[in-house]
Amino acid sequence: MNIILIPILLPLLTGLALLLISEKTKYLKELLGIGAAAVSLLAAVNILLVHPAPLHHHWLGTAISFTLIADNLSAFLLLAVSLFSLAISVYSFSMPNKGSAKWFYFNLLMTQGFAAGAALSDNMVAMLFFWEGLLVFLYTFIALSQNTHAAKRTAMKAFLINAVTDLCLLAGVTITGYIAGTMSMSDISANKLTLDYGWSLFAYVLLLIGAVSKAGAFPFHTWIPDAATDSSAPFMAYVPAAIDKLLGIYFLARASVYLFTLNGTMQLVLMSLGAVTILVAVMMAFVQKDYKRLLSYHAVSQTGYMILGIGTLNPVGIAGGLFHMINHATYKSCLFMTAGSVERQAGTGELSKLGGLFRAMPVTGVCFLIAAAAISGIAPLNGFFSKELVYKGTLDTGYTVFFLAAELGSFLTLASFLKLGHSVFFGARPEGMKETKEAPFSMLLPMLTLAGICVAFGFGARFPIEWFIAPSLAGMNIETGLLWGFHADKLYFVSVIVILAAVMNHLFGLSAGGGKPSKSSDHIHYAPVLKETYALAERKVFDLYEQTMDRVVPPVSLALFKVDRFFDWTIDALPGGVASFFGGASRRFHNGSYPLYMALTIAGAAVYILLAGGLK
């Protein structure tokens, strides 16, 4: 067997085997899930190191080619998916609030297998097969994570949003394949398509919609905060690592750099989408009162940095976007793990009910501090260097406004994490949490591993850039110069100013909020104009899905119901009524009277004579 199949088939077959195991069997499901994820990770490491020969299989003669290729970018993505899958499987071992263990590990392994297939597929038809499989398990993952109506509703919301955008992706793939004359991405890259005519532009826009929706960018992000509230922490920790950011940004990079040559207009579209995603989501994150919901908006906001970096279309920015992709998956998964640990041990995720947990949960607290500093772009951690590359990429384009938007996003990111960390781990501990203890080792080990990666990928970022990012760019025919290293330049001093401004904002918010960390954002939340805007957002006025379901679907459904009733009346009731009327009239004439029949006969003859010419 070609080793390239192991990360796909092993999780899929193990997931199906789990369904045959009784729910009462203790630990067997968890151990099988962890074992399959571990073996898949070893296979992914081997694939990255040796780059096995591509796997080709033809269906219907040569009409459809099923091709798996482990180039530098896809092998790097496969390694990331496998690593995070193992981390989540270990973390979930002692996590009770994840739904049925059998179904959780089934969904986890099936998602891992389909994500690996999507990453390795060179043929766009094969990629679509795996991509749509992920859509199915996105629904089941959320729906089965909690036995509540809210979880089912959020699962349907996630399914419908992604299903509609996946239809756009399907149409885009079809048009792209028709224009290029092939569905092979490596063949298309040899003669990249340009956006110089309508169909090519239309195809790219459709691919863009599918990619940014999978990445959870604005305006397709609204299911993510709902999932944070209605599903489990292990699921939310897995979203940035496999289902969400990695694959969406991966395919966005493929389409924007590998398959198409973009023009200046589309560059502005991409960068604008990235900037809007950063600011809209981080503004919402800043005012949240729930641990996981706050993190979920940051998961959306950080997507904006990745889109912004790729949208620069220069090597530095693209490198920053890809580097931020893996960095975000690392620290955001770690942060959601800390949220799950706090929720498990303290029994709540509401910031106003938490506090002073650092002494009770020191390992969780340290992991939170490292991951929070990384996502906020604080040197020397990994997030600082990926953001630095994105900043430099935006400045190289000459559009300073996008650089300012990214820096404003960094300010609000750090401000919201100062609020979150202060509310949860510092200050006074509530009376009901005096006996709170640290999370189990099986939950701490993945957190420590991911926090360690945040540190290891920092300090100049030489290792991740030389081993993963630069080879991935070279595989897409992008030549780069020296990208790693610490630079005490203007950007560094700007980051220091941003940090100081965020700290001052937090201190002012504490003073204005009566010393309560959970209220340290109220001075912005309830500021003029912003207060009304936030109120509208909390009522989901800006949520296209909710507005469609509440205001468009009901009247359209009613109109269609009326149309259906009209056709029913036209087809069934009207002919029956007419037949009944004439039948009744006919019965009144057929009363057996001979004089009446003679009169009708004479009258009919007279009418015939008149019509036949008597009128002349």
* 431 φ/ψ sector (left φ>0, alpha ψ -120 to 50, else beta): alpha
Distances (CA, A) of 350 to 285, 298, 510: 14, 17, 18
Contact present, 204 and 192 (Cβ < 8 Å) = no
The predicted model scores a pTM of 0.88
The alpha-carbon radius of gyration of the chain (Å, integer) is: 30
- Tell me which residue of 287, 168, 153 sits closest to 222, measured CA to CA: 153
H helices of 287-357, in order, are 291-311, 315-346
Q: Which two tokens stand for residue 190?
A: 């040899």
Count of Cβ atoms closer than 10 Å to residue 335 Cβ = 31
Question: What local confidence, expressed as pLDDT, does residue 60 receive?
Answer: 56
Angstrom distance (rounded) from CA 188 to CA 179:
10
Spatial CB neighbours of 148, under 8 Å, sequence gap ≥ 6? 230
Identify the sign of the CA torsion 305, 306, 310, 316: positive
Residue 481 is given by DSSP the state -
Distances (CA, A) of 371 to 89, 245, 376, 453, 574: 20, 17, 9, 10, 70
Angstrom distance (rounded) from CA 384 to CA 324:
9
Read off φ and ψ for residue 240, nearest 5 degrees. Answer: -70, -20
Residues of the chain predicted below pLDDT 50: none
Widest Cα–Cα separation across the chain: 118
What residue type is 194 in one-letter code?
A: T
Angstrom distance (rounded) from CA 319 to CA 288:
32
Spatial CB neighbours of 190, under 8 Å, sequence gap ≥ 6? none
Question: What local confidence, expressed as pLDDT, does residue 573 receive?
Answer: 80
Residue 67 is given by DSSP the state E
Spatial CB neighbours of 112, under 8 Å, sequence gap ≥ 6? 7, 11, 37, 40, 81, 82, 85, 242
Residue 320 is given by DSSP the state H
Angstrom distance (rounded) from CA 45 to CA 457:
17
Element containing residue 64 per DSSP (H, E): strand 64-68
Distances (CA, A) of 598 to 510, 592, 594: 105, 11, 6
- Tell me which residue of 310, 302, 273 sits closest to 285, measured CA to CA: 302
* 27 φ/ψ sector (left φ>0, alpha ψ -120 to 50, else beta): left
Question: What local confidence, expressed as pLDDT, does residue 569 receive?
Answer: 81
Question: What local confidence, expressed as pLDDT, does residue 101 receive?
Answer: 84
Contact present, 44 and 79 (Cβ < 8 Å) = yes
Element containing residue 161 per DSSP (H, E): helix 149-180
